[in-house]
């Protein structure tokens, strides 16, 4: 096992290969910023920058857990629906008990359990991840709509609302979450045995199994983490918009997938980083924010996201071919 | 074999038939309105749109592919059909426009998958976003109304006492059956799933074949758009969202495998009826559509689980 992980490490993290890729992405972010500054008077205002950071933080939280899933060559299509159900349950608990802490536990716990269920479907039942999580997405959507019955829950305690709309030293609270989970994510993925095993599973599941990696348990773990992160993201949305509806988070699955892929994590598993996903989330947020600032109808957003996903995967495939 | 033990004989009965019979028994017992001839005609008529999507989905899944965009393409085709019908007054032109939309998206899916080697589920997830975005952009989120009333007869009309949609769906089934089991194209579809290398060795263009399979899916979505628009007498930018899920469910329940490329068209037909019976029965029991969606999801997971067990044997 030690041989495998060290090989994986050296081939995945050598700077030479990744530096150029990262540089391109940073360059793309910079170009987007320059273009948006030129095109819109509003872009370079403190308010809008904070807004971009807040949106990036939210997208990153969902995309960071998803990154681990995609590193194992899997996919989690249920995160948007997970946000909706976890958020609505958390909102009910806060309303009924008046306790934000219980609400937070409910949101993250619900997300985690959904993730566990995904993990079981993928490992024990051996259902391909994209179809298992796609089925899960519809199951969750159904439960959420039934539970909410078209109602809206709104008005949360001010303390809870700080999670989404508060500021600390002038910086939105979600940004601190982003930094925290960036550090945890990077340390976990690249400095722990479990993290290395996740890369190994994505690179070659059979080799990973033969070298003693408990593949099933690690897979369940990544889906559970992805689910818990979606639960956490749902809390930040609740706190930000101060209400919960059956359709929150619905439109976030595609951008989260796009953020991971644009951030350089390969859809085929085994290569990519959580830090890259941060750049991806920033890039995607800039595109969507820019479309807003340029007053492009929000109907164009799924279209733009779809095209970005296809481009990102195409670039990934091209780079792999050249690498071979 | 008459000596075979009874459990072994039952094991040979396709799972979908057992599921369908079990569902029918449950609904006959719980809902008095279920086993009436108007309701049965209703189930069959309502299943026709789903069948038009599930037929090409079977072929696509047999090639170890997937089409998540088919519901969104159906929606966009329906919107273009409605807009064309409203502005020109010609249903023929409108239908041609819907088929053209399906053709374009089918070709786009096929090309991205076959030429650019992008995995099918991510390709069609991307084109789902594109088709959904286009639907919203074109309509600005509003319904398209004012289609000539004559379109209604396509869905509600009958010929020789049989509802027109059932005749159209039977025709589509017959054509797909002929394509799959009686043409070289069909033989290549089987090979695409199980034995791609053999196709290459035989000098067949795998790319061309894959593109054709997805184009077939797009065209059928365009065809289904005609029935859906006729049924609603309008087009709405969210009308077909999630239809791909019912189609995938029907194919999975019908016993087509996601991993080994074994397809069974009759199974898909039974799968479509199973999904239709499930939704209809739950409707009669006044169970909200949100729970129905969850039930269909459970049905898929159960079907895939059983499929997985059979694969191990």
Any residues with CB less than 8 A from the CB of B59 and at least 6 apart, and which? B176, B180, B189, B213, B216, B217, B263
A25-30+42-319 CATH: 1.10.3470
Q: What is the DSSP letter of B142?
A: P
Whether residue B9 is predicted with pLDDT greater than 70 in this model: the reply is no
Q: How many CB atoms lie within 10 A of CB B167?
A: 15
Specify whether the CB–CB gap between A159 and A239 falls below 8 A.
no
Residue B197 burial class via C-beta count within 10 angstroms: exposed 0-12, middle 13-18, buried 19 and up: exposed
Residues of A in contact with B298 (CB under 8 A): 139
Give the per-residue pLDDT at B11: 54
A254 and B125 within 8 Å at the Cβ level: the answer is yes
Q: Does A300 touch chain B (CB under 8 A)?
A: yes
Give the C-alpha separation, A321 to A305, whole Å. 24
Percent of chain B with pLDDT over 70: 92
Q: β-strand A167-168 against A171-172: which pairing, if any?
A: antiparallel
Specify whether the CB–CB gap between B178 and B161 falls below 8 A.
no
**Nearest residue of A to residue B131, measured between CA atoms:** A303
Whether residue B90 is predicted with pLDDT greater than 90 in this model: the reply is no
Whether residue A254 is predicted with pLDDT greater than 80 in this model: the reply is yes
Whether residue A1 is predicted with pLDDT greater than 50 in this model: the reply is no
Any residues with CB less than 8 A from the CB of B165 and at least 6 apart, and which? B45, B48, B49, B154, B155, B227
> Quick one: tokens of A293?
């600032």
Backbone angles phi, psi at A265, to 5 degrees: -80, 130
| pLDDT interval class at A6 (50, 70, 90) | very low
Mean of all residue pLDDT scores within chain B: 87
> Quick one: tokens of B145?
């109304």
Give the per-residue pLDDT at B310: 65
Please tell me which residue, A237 or A41, carries the higher pLDDT value. A237
Comparing CA positions, the residue from B245, B263, B254, B268 lying closest to residue B304 is: B254
Comparing CA positions, the residue from A27, A86, A75, A35 lying closest to residue A249 is: A86
pTM for this entry: 0.85
Q: How many CB atoms lie within 10 A of CB A272?
A: 27
Establish, for the pair of chains A and B, how many residue pairs have beta carbons separated by less than 8 Å: 128
Q: What is the pLDDT of residues A70-114, one digit of tens each?
A: 999 999 999 999 999 999 999 999 989 988 899 999 999 999 999
Specify whether the CB–CB gap between B228 and B76 falls below 8 A.
no
Please tell me which residue, B125 or B102, carries the higher pLDDT value. B102
Q: What mean pLDDT is predicted for residues B211-238? A: 93
Mean of all residue pLDDT scores within chain A: 87
Residues of B in contact with A125 (CB under 8 A): 301, 304-305, 308
Backbone angles phi, psi at A297, to 5 degrees: -50, 135
Coil, strand, or helix at residue A174?
helix
Backbone angles phi, psi at B142, to 5 degrees: -95, 160
List, in sequence order, every residue forming a beta bridge with A171; answer none if it has no partner. A168
Give the per-residue pLDDT at B204: 82
B130 and A303 within 8 Å at the Cβ level: the answer is yes
Residues of A in contact with B288 (CB under 8 A): 145-146, 149
Comparing CA positions, the residue from B53, B247, B245 lying closest to residue A81 is: B245
Give the per-residue pLDDT at B134: 92
A positions 112-141 inside 8 Å of B (CB): 121, 125-128, 130-132, 134-136, 138-139, 141
B297 and A138 within 8 Å at the Cβ level: the answer is yes
B290 and A143 within 8 Å at the Cβ level: the answer is yes
Q: What is the DSSP letter of B257?
A: -
Domain map (residue ranges) of chain A: 25-30+42-319
Residues present in chain B in total: 313
Q: What is the DSSP letter of B151?
A: G
Q: Does B141 touch chain A (CB under 8 A)?
A: yes
A317 and B126 within 8 Å at the Cβ level: the answer is no
Q: What is the pLDDT of residues A98-107, one digit of tens each?
A: 888 999 999 9
Q: What is the pLDDT of residues A114-123, one digit of tens each?
A: 999 999 999 9
Give the C-alpha separation, B53 to A264, whole Å. 34
Percent of chain A with pLDDT over 70: 94
Whether residue B267 is predicted with pLDDT greater than 50 in this model: the reply is yes
Give the per-residue pLDDT at A5: 46
Lowest mean pLDDT among A17-21, A190-194, B204-208: A17-21
Specify whether the CB–CB gap between A67 and A272 falls below 8 A.
yes
Please tell me which residue, B224 or B310, carries the higher pLDDT value. B224
What does each C-alpha distance from B127 to B104, B120, B181, B256 come to in angstroms? 11, 10, 30, 24
Lowest mean pLDDT among A160-169, A278-287, B45-54: A160-169
Whether residue A4 is predicted with pLDDT greater than 70 in this model: the reply is no
**Nearest residue of B to residue A140, measured between CA atoms:** B294
**Nearest residue of A to residue B116, measured between CA atoms:** A314
Specify whether the CB–CB gap between B43 and B276 falls below 8 A.
yes
Whether residue B8 is predicted with pLDDT greater than 80 in this model: the reply is no
Please name the member of B119, B130, B294 whose beta carbon is closest to the beta carbon of A143.
Answer: B294
Q: What mean pLDDT is predicted for residues B115-144? A: 90
Q: What is the DSSP letter of A150?
A: T
A positions 149-168 inside 8 Å of B (CB): 149
Q: Which of A164-173, A300-309, B122-131, B151-160 has the highest mean pLDDT?
A: B122-131
Q: In sequence order, what DSSP letters do the residues of B72-112 get, joined into one string?
A: HHHHHHHHHHHHHHHHH--HHHHHHHHHHHHHHHHHHHHHH
Comparing CA positions, the residue from B251, B278, B272, B248 lying closest to residue A131 is: B248
Q: What is the DSSP letter of A127?
A: -
Task: Report, in angstroms and rounded to the nearest whole number, the Rg of chain A calculated over CA atoms.
Answer: 19
Give the C-alpha separation, A235 to B27, whole Å. 40
A positions 234-293 inside 8 Å of B (CB): 254, 257, 267
Q: What mean pLDDT is predicted for residues B175-198? A: 87
Whether residue A7 is predicted with pLDDT greater than 70 in this model: the reply is no
Residues present in chain A in total: 324
| pLDDT interval class at A9 (50, 70, 90) | very low
Q: What is the pLDDT of residues B24-82, one digit of tens each?
A: 998 988 888 888 888 888 899 989 999 999 999 999 999 989 999 999 999 999 999 99
B130 and A306 within 8 Å at the Cβ level: the answer is yes
Please tell me which residue, A165 or B102, carries the higher pLDDT value. B102
Comparing CA positions, the residue from B18, B221, B254, B231 lying closest to residue B124 is: B221
Give the per-residue pLDDT at A190: 87
């Amino acid at each position: 096992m030690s041989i495998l992980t060290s090989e994986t490490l050296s081939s995945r993290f050598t700077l030479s290969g990744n530096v150029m890729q990262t540089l391109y992405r940073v360059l793309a972010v910079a170009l987007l910023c320059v273009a948006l500054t030129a095109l819109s008077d509003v872009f370079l205002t403190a308010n809008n920058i904070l807004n971009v950071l807040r949106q990036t933080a939210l997208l990153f939280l969902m995309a960071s857990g998803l990154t681990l899933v995609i590193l194992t060559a899997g996919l989690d299509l249920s995160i948007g629906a997970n946000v909706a159900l976890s958020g609505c349950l958390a909102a009910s608990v806060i309303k009924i008990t008046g306790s934000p802490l219980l609400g937070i536990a409910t949101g993250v716990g619900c997300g985690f359990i959904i993730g566990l269920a995904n993990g079981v479907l993928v490992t024990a039942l051996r259902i391909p991840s994209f179809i298992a999580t796609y089925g899960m997405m519809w199951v969750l959507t159904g439960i959420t709509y039934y539970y909410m019955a078209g109602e809206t829950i709104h008005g949360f305690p001010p303390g809870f609302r700080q999670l989404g709309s508060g500021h600390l030293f002038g910086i939105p609270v979600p940004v601190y979450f982003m930094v925290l989970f960036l550090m945890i994510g990077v340390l976990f993925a690249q400095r722990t045995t479990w993290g290395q095993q996740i890369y190994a599973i994505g690179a070659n599941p059979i080799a990973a199994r033969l070298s003693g990696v408990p593949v099933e348990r690690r897979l369940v773990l990544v889906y559970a983490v992805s689910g818990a992160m979606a639960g956490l993201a749902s809390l930040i949305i609740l706190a930000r918009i101060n209400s919960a509806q059956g359709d929150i988070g619905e439109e976030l699955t595609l951008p989260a997938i796009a953020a991971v892929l644009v951030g350089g994590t390969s859809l085929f598993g085994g290569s990519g980083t959580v830090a890259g996903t941060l750049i991806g989330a920033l890039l995607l947020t800039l595109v969507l924010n820019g479309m807003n600032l340029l007053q492009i109808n929000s109907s164009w957003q799924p279209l733009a996201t779809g095209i970005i996903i296809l481009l990102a995967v195409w670039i990934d495939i091209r780079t792999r071919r050249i690498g071979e | 074999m008459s000596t075979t033990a009874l459990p072994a004989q039952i094991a040979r009965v396709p799972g979908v038939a057992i599921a369908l019979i079990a569902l029918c028994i449950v609904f006959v017992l719980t809902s008095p309105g279920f086993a009436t001839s108007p309701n049965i005609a209703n189930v069959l008529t309502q299943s026709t749109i789903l069948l038009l999507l599930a037929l090409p989905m079977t072929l696509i899944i047999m090639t170890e592919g997937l089409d998540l965009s088919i519901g969104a393409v159906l929606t966009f085709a329906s919107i273009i059909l409605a807009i064309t019908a409203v502005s020109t007054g010609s249903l023929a032109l409108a239908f041609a426009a819907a088929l053209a939309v399906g053709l374009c998206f089918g070709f786009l899916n096929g090309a991205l998958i076959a030429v650019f080697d992008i995995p099918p589920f991510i390709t069609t997830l991307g084109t789902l976003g594109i088709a959904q975005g286009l639907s919203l952009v074109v309509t600005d989120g509003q319904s398209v109304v004012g289609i000539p009333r004559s379109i209604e007869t396509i869905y509600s009309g009958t010929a020789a006492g049989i509802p027109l949609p059932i005749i159209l769906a039977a025709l589509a089934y017959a054509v797909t059956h002929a394509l799959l089991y009686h043409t070289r194209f069909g033989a290549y579809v089987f090979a695409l799933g199980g034995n791609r290398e053999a196709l290459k060795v035989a000098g067949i263009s795998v790319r061309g074949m894959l593109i054709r399979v997805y184009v077939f899916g797009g065209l059928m979505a365009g065809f289904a758009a005609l029935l859906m628009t006729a049924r609603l007498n309008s087009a709405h930018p969210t009308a077909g969202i999630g239809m791909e899920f019912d189609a995938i469910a029907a194919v999975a329940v019908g016993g087509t495998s996601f991993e080994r490329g074994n397809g069974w068209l009759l199974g898909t037909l039974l799968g479509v009826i199973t999904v239709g019976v499930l939704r209809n029965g739950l409707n009669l029991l006044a169970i909200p559509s949100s729970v129905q969606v969850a039930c269909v999801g459970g049905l898929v997971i159960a079907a895939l689980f059983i499929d997985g067990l059979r694969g191990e044997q």
